[in-house]
């Protein structure tokens, strides 16, 4: 449908490019004409033309079209309100469009006004559908692991940058935020407490105890009195009187798991925590703990190249009604292509101590990436989205918590919630990346000593 007037003459808009003008025109027409059929059709046509500029699959484009069209129709009851907004000032388009898409004004403007350049995320940001749950509380299939903002991967980002990422996650509909007393030796909890306090009632907050920083060193301590003390400190740092999910970060084998879980059960009874979780334990340990008090979630590493949960806990979680929360779902950045030369990692990056990132293992593992990227191109998503989508296809009780310090990567990761993988692609991924094709253990010997998970046989390292 050709527009009847020049874009510059559309009242209430500031024209930056033709895409903004066309879609802004349709917004205006929706408001003024009670969404006549011809304007609905024109909106679909021009929105489709815009989406064709993105490297998305046809299935993804159709999903976005349906989403935005349905949201537009849903605004029919607020037409007068939107019309008033649309005529106020030069930012009215961004405000009205943000209402339509569920994005912030700034994010929509950045997406739409990029002069024809597709953003780094390679897919439209999306709001995860809350189709999964922990302890009966609906959460999205993708949460946010917050460790990267304070811990483990070298120098953390400046506080304003970390705060901006957390707020962007809120804008995008993330409700599940995961931290720990260990991360930054308390500074990560303090960061979340400061930034997320205004949103406390709308988020699902998870933290961990049993492994903390003492005098600059990591200390494993599962004694009941230590867990209670750590919880009180976490509540203060998080600026809340209740943590929705509280994990035992690691099982201290000098303390029976029943004693540690019993202490956490007392915290539930006192109202300090809502539910109990475990991390990096086996199916046998999960059963023992669950017999003391219902365990709501088990957080273990799980990704295409770390398949240990398939040896027991994935099925045991399903049987017991426990959510399996997957950390490092992108293989600590490997599957996203974030690591091309481990020797360039900063000195305090924990991956420097991981056998998979050491030679000759890394070079052998890197050979998997090109055929993996080819599958991502076939699906029409980024490599990171492919890894997350694969994970979400494994089980309905599985939730992934990728971490990042980049807003563009955050947006990219959340787009994985809408990626549907054909059966043929799932099979090819299974054939390409599996325990027999990945070289090197995930932890060094010292870190492995604190882990209780089942282990899978890996390929031997190639000869030097």
Tell me, what CATH number does 385's domain have? 3.20.20.100
pLDDT at position 258: 98
215, part of any domain: yes
120, part of any domain: no
Residues 298 and 224 in one domain: yes
Q: How many domains, in total, are found in the chain?
A: 2
296, part of any domain: yes
Does residue 183 have an active-site annotation? yes
Residues 285 and 361 in one domain: yes
Q: Which of 50, 95, 153, 183 is catalytic?
A: 183
SS (H, E, C) 71-132: HHHHHHHHHHHHHHHHCCCCCHHHHHHHHHHCCCHHHHHHHHCCCCCCCCCCCCCCCCCCCE
Distance CA 371, CA 365 (A): 12
Residues 250 and 288 in one domain: yes
Closest residue by Cα to residue 168 from 117, 107, 124, 78: 107
Residues 210 and 165 in one domain: yes
pLDDT at position 393: 93
Cα distances (angstroms) measured from residue 414 to each of 69, 100, 105, 147, 417: 20, 18, 18, 17, 6
pLDDT at position 8: 35
170, part of any domain: yes
Residue 70, both tokens: 């349905």
117, part of any domain: no
143, part of any domain: yes
pLDDT in tens, the chain (464 residues): 333 333 333 333 333 334 444 455 455 544 444 445 665 666 677 767 766 666 556 766 666 666 555 555 444 434 333 443 444 444 444 444 444 444 444 444 444 443 323 333 333 333 334 469 999 999 999 999 999 999 878 789 999 999 999 999 999 999 999 999 999 999 999 999 999 999 999 999 999 999 998 887 889 999 999 999 999 999 999 999 999 999 999 999 999 999 999 999 999 999 999 999 999 999 999 999 999 999 999 999 999 999 999 999 999 999 999 999 999 999 999 999 989 999 999 888 989 999 999 999 999 999 999 999 999 999 999 999 999 999 999 999 999 999 999 999 999 999 999 998 999 999 999 999 999 999 999 988 888 888 899 887 655 544 44
What per-residue string of b and e applies to 366-389 under the rule 16 or more CB within 10 Å gives b?
A: eebbeebeebbeebbbbbbbbbbb
Residues 224 and 285 in one domain: yes
Distance CA 260, CA 249 (A): 11
121, part of any domain: no
Domain containing residue 31? 7-112
Is the pTM for the entire model greater than 0.85?
Answer: no
Residues 229 and 325 in one domain: yes
422, part of any domain: yes
Residues 320 and 281 in one domain: yes
Give the single-character DSSP code of 460. Answer: P
Residues 206 and 86 in one domain: no
Residues 147 and 285 in one domain: yes
Last residue of a domain, one of 112, 144, 165: 112
pLDDT at position 356: 95
Residues 166 and 258 in one domain: yes
Residues 298 and 161 in one domain: yes
Cβ atoms within 10 Å, residue 88: 11
Radius of gyration of the chain (CA): 24
Residues 155 and 190 in one domain: yes
Distance CA 42, CA 35 (A): 11
Last residue of a domain, one of 79, 112, 145: 112
């Amino acid at each position: 449908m050709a527009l009847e007037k020049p874009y510059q003459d559309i009242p209430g808009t500031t024209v930056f490019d033709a895409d903004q003008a066309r879609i802004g025109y349709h917004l205006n027409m929706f408001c003024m004409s009670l969404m006549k059929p011809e304007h609905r059709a024109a909106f679909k046509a021009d929105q489709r033309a815009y989406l064709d500029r993105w490297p998305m699959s046809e299935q993804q484009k159709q999903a976005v079209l349906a989403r935005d069209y349905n949201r537009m129709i849903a605004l029919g009851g607020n037409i007068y309100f939107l019309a008033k907004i649309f005529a106020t000032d030069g930012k009215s388009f961004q405000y009205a469009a943000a209402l339509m898409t569920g994005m912030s004004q700034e994010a929509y403007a950045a997406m739409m006004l990029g002069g024809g350049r597709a953003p780094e995320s390679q897919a439209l940001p999306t709001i995860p559908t809350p189709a999964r749950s922990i302890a009966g509380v609906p959460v999205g299939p993708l949460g946010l692991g917050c460790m990267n903002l304070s811990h483990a991967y070298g120098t953390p980002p400046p506080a304003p940058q970390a705060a901006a990422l957390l707020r962007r996650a809120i804008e995008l509909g993330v409700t599940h935020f995961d931290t720990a007393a260990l991360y930054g030796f308390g500074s990560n909890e303090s960061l979340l407490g400061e930034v997320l306090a205004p949103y406390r009632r709308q988020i699902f907050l998870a933290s961990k105890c049993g492994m903390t920083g003492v005098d600059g060193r990591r200390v494993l301590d599962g004694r009941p009195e230590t867990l209670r003390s750590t919880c009180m400190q976490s509540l203060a740092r998080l600026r809340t009187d209740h943590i929705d999910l509280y994990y035992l970060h690691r099982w201290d084998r000098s303390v029976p798991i029943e004693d540690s879980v019993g202490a956490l059960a007392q915290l539930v009874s006192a109202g300090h925590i809502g539910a109990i979780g475990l991390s990096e334990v086996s199916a046998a340990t999960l059963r023992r703990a669950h017999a003391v008090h219902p365990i709501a979630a088990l957080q273990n590493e799980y990704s295409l190249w770390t398949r240990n949960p398939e040896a027991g806990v994935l099925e045991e979680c399903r049987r017991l009604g426990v959510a399996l929360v997957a950390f490092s779902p992108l293989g600590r950045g490997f599957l996203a292509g974030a690591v091309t030369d481990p020797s360039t990692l900063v000195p305090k990056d924990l991956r420097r101590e991981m056998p998979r990132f050491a030679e000759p293992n890394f070079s052998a593992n890197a050979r998997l990436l090109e055929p993996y990227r080819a599958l991502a191109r076939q699906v029409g998503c980024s490599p990171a989205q492919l890894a997350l989508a694969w994970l979400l296809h494994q089980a309905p009780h599985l939730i992934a918590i990728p971490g990042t310090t980049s807003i563009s990567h955050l947006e990219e990761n959340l787009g994985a919630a809408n990626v549907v993988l054909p059966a043929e692609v799932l099979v090819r991924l299974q054939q390409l990346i599996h325990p027999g094709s990945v070289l090197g253990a995930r932890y060094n010997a010292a870190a492995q000593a604190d882990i209780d998970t089942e282990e899978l046989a890996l390929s031997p390292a190639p000869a030097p």
